[in-house]
Amino acid sequence: MEQEKKGKVCVTGGSGYLGSWMIMKLLQLGYSVNTTIRSHPDLKRDVSYLTNLPNAPERLHIFNADLHKPESFNIAIEGCIGVFHVAHPIDFEDKETEETITQRSIDGIIGILQACLESQTVKRVVYTSSAATVLGDSSNIVDESSWTDVDLIRTLKPFASSYTISKTLTEKAALKFAEKNGIDLVTVIPTWINGPFITPQIPGSVRSSLEMILGHQSNIIKYPPIVPFVHVDDVTNAHIFLLENPNAKGRYICSAVEITREKLAQFLLTRYPEFQKQITEYTWTSRELKRSSLSSKKLLETGFKYKYGLEEMFDGAIDCCKQRDML
């Protein structure tokens, strides 16, 4: 049965893993959704995985917008009560410089926040940040007061350093702009998002999570010694919970499970014995900095509950790969 109608919200980056799952869930919950996708001049995009979603014909509107042109988001934000800013230029192959990516990402979010201010209808903005913004020194547990040391990342240049720097500086710039201009901005800090997907291609973070089964690939994040995971549906629910909860304020780490990569291998071997050969032949090639444990205490104390464990994440991811003949 269709849920009672809620207000209209905007989701940026609707073509992506998290964005598309969020659209599906918001439509289920009774929201009307304006989403933004990038238009590619040479490519007619097939967005039937969005337009075929239940309730999409009545309540989903798709707009073209690009962080290159921050004002292109204005029309999608008009009349919305909330904005989920999910889009981010993700470039693990360093096709562009870190400075270019960071500048685009900051200009984009400031333009989006400005549009929210001018709309006079947006009550709260929820921004998808990343665990890359709270990298600690591996000796302690990090919480929302932690910030990645951008200068250290520039010096050490670990894999995905431009992503780490751009996410950190974008979240900082957004929080500062929001505070100065009286915008209600909440940020969500997810770890590795894993689980089922509705996108036609396998999402990057699911590809990373399944690397022991799918084999090595150069342009994805590698398992750190301790891998933190969260199910895509839990991250989505956390975003919606934080939009709706009147007491939400500031940053929220969203991470459900941490497991050493050795125990992860054991878990995969036991649960999916059909992939025994791939898992036992896999060799670690970590290019990741050691990470601290992350605490979700603040999110849990606000009343949020995680629903999923590793089993549901990997069952969902593997089933979706099989349905698309990727496994």
Ligand X SMILES: NC(=O)c1ccc[n+]([C@@H]2O[C@H](COP(=O)([O-])OP(=O)(O)OC[C@H]3O[C@@H](n4cnc5c(N)ncnc54)[C@H](OP(=O)(O)O)[C@@H]3O)[C@@H](O)[C@H]2O)c1
What minimum distance in Å lies between the beta carbon of 86 and ligand X?
A: 5
Q: Which stretch binds ligand X (CB under 6 A): 16-24, 268-276, 294-302, 304-312?
A: 16-24
C-beta of 114 vs 205, nearer to ligand X: 205
Q: With binding defined as CB under 6 A, does residue 70 bind ligand X? A: no
C-beta of 13 vs 316, nearer to ligand X: 13
C-beta of 220 vs 268, nearer to ligand X: 220
Compute how many residues bind ligand X; rule: CB under 6 A: 25
Looking at residues 293 to 322 of the shown chain, list those that interact with ligand X (rule: CB under 6 A). none
What minimum distance in Å lies between the beta carbon of 274 and ligand X?
A: 25
Q: How far apart are CA 210 and CA 302, in angstroms?
A: 32
Q: How far apart are CA 141 and CA 173, in angstroms?
A: 24
Q: How far apart are CA 245 and CA 139, in angstroms?
A: 33
CA-to-CA separations, 292 to 47, 201, 237, 302, 303, in angstroms, rounded: 38, 31, 24, 23, 24
Q: With binding defined as CB under 6 A, does residue 86 bind ligand X? A: yes
Looking at residues 223 to 252 of the shown chain, list those that interact with ligand X (rule: CB under 6 A). none
Q: How far apart are CA 316 and CA 314, in angstroms?
A: 5
Q: How far apart are the first and last CA of the chain?
A: 35
Q: With binding defined as CB under 6 A, does residue 69 bind ligand X? A: no
What minimum distance in Å lies between the beta carbon of 2 and ligand X?
A: 27
Nearest one of 209, 221, 193 to 306, comparing CA atoms:
193
CA-to-CA separations, 306 to 188, 232, 283, 312, in angstroms, rounded: 14, 11, 31, 12
Q: With binding defined as CB under 6 A, does residue 34 bind ligand X? A: no
Q: With binding defined as CB under 6 A, does residue 148 bind ligand X? A: no
> For tokens 């689980």, what's the residue?
195
Q: Return the amino acid letter for 6.
A: K
What minimum distance in Å lies between the beta carbon of 67 and ligand X?
A: 4
Residue from 70, 82, 111, 190 that binds ligand X (CB under 6 A)?
190
Q: Return the amino acid letter for 266.
A: Q
Question: Sign (positive/negative) of CA torsion 314, 21, 111, 253?
Answer: negative
What minimum distance in Å lies between the beta carbon of 17 and ligand X?
A: 3
Q: With binding defined as CB under 6 A, does residue 89 bind ligand X? A: yes
**DSSP-assigned letters across all residues of 103-128:** HHHHHHHHHHHHHHHHHS---EEEEE
Beta bridge partners of residue 201, listed in sequence order: none
Q: With binding defined as CB under 6 A, does residue 78 bind ligand X? A: no
- Contact 294/191 with Cβ under 8 angstroms? yes
Cα–chain-centroid distance for residue 67? 16
C-beta of 269 vs 288, nearer to ligand X: 288
Looking at residues 112 to 131 of the shown chain, list those that interact with ligand X (rule: CB under 6 A). 128, 130-131
Q: How far apart are CA 204 and CA 9, in angstroms?
A: 26
Q: Which stretch binds ligand X (CB under 6 A): 133-141, 197-205, 257-265, 270-278?
A: 197-205
What minimum distance in Å lies between the beta carbon of 291 and ligand X?
A: 13
Closest-approach residue to ligand X (CB): 16
What minimum distance in Å lies between the beta carbon of 7 and ligand X?
A: 23
Which positions touch ligand X (CB under 6 A)? 13, 15-19, 38, 66-68, 86-90, 128, 130-131, 167, 190, 192-193, 203-205
